[in-house]
């Protein structure tokens, strides 16, 4: 009798464990299709009027002048914030203002200086973020081999995590200097709009470098952003 009871308990435990494993797999399989989520996210992003953004390069990427940036941007192409950018071979912390198609930079000393648009665009162009033809909306809709991996919280936002690959031409329009295809992990909100919350690009190493990741996060979507030209 005792042996029968032990065998029965063992069979019961196996059944419970097997049921839990099966439930996890079913849950993953029932996640929304990545293609549907990214199409929704891309369409919603094209309607965004303003956003707070953060860009962080984790590691060293030769040819990528920006190390980090944090700022606010509206769909009219106005932006303000701060960034660490490679200028003349050295990383320099700057404040930036972009208004009326004019870029202003202020270094650690002195006031704001106008920077030609052609030069500024090669360093960092925040207007690309909300540009439907070269920004995050294009990244979302041009991600190849996308798969939905999980549902999880990012910065307190309920999100779907999606992985895929992005062509170098697409990602370079967002982050100047990237010249290789990248693996991407994208997080989009789990609500009906599926707006992007975070993007992570794994950039392979080249020329002896180990490569790096570039994190881009978004918040304060559609909160009013007003930018004025610096005085002087």
Domains and CATH numbers, the chain: 34-68+128-219 (2.50.20.20)
Q: How far apart are CA 89 and CA 73, in angstroms?
A: 27
59 CB neighbour count, 10 Å cutoff: 15
pLDDT at 5 over 50: no
| pLDDT for position 125 | 87
- For range 191-207, the mean pLDDT: 91
Task: Check residue 122 and give its pLDDT.
Answer: 76
Sheet with 102-106, side-by-side order of all strands: 113-115, 102-106, 90-99, 79-87, 66-74, 50-59, 212-219, 196-203, 182-189, 157-166, 144-154
Q: Which tokens in the block code for residue 76?
A: 């009219």
pTM of the model: 0.85
Q: How confident is the model at residue 196 (pLDDT cuts 50, 70, 90)?
A: very high
pLDDT at 27: 58
Yes or no: say if 42 and 194 are a contact pair by the CB < 8 Å rule. Answer: no
pLDDT at 181 over 80: yes
């Amino acid at each position: 009798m005792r042996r029968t009871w032990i065998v029965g308990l063992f069979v019961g435990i196996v059944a419970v464990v097997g049921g839990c494993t099966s439930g996890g797999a079913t849950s993953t399989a029932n996640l929304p299709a990545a293609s549907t989520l990214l199409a929704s996210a891309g369409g919603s992003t094209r309607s965004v009027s303003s956003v707070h953004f953060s860009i962080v390069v984790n590691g060293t990427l030769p040819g990528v002048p920006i190390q980090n940036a944090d700022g606010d941007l509206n769909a009219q192409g106005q932006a303000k914030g701060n960034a660490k950018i490679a200028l003349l071979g050295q990383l320099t912390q700057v404040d930036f203002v972009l208004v009326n198609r004019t870029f202003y930079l202020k270094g650690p000393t002195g006031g704001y200086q106008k920077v030609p648009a052609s030069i500024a665009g090669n360093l960092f162009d925040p207007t690309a973020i909300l540009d439907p033809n070269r920004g995050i909306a294009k990244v979302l809709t041009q991600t190849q081999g996308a798969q939905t991996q999980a549902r999880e919280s990012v910065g307190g936002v309920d999100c779907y995590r999606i992985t895929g690959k992005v062509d170098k031409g697409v990602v370079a329009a967002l982050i100047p200097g990237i010249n290789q295809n990248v693996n991407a992990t994208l997080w989009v909100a789990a609500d009906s709009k599926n707006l992007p919350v975070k993007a992570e690009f794994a950039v392979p190493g080249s020329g002896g470098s180990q490569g790096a990741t570039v994190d881009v996060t978004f918040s304060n979507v559609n909160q009013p952003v007003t930018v004025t030209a610096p005085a002087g």
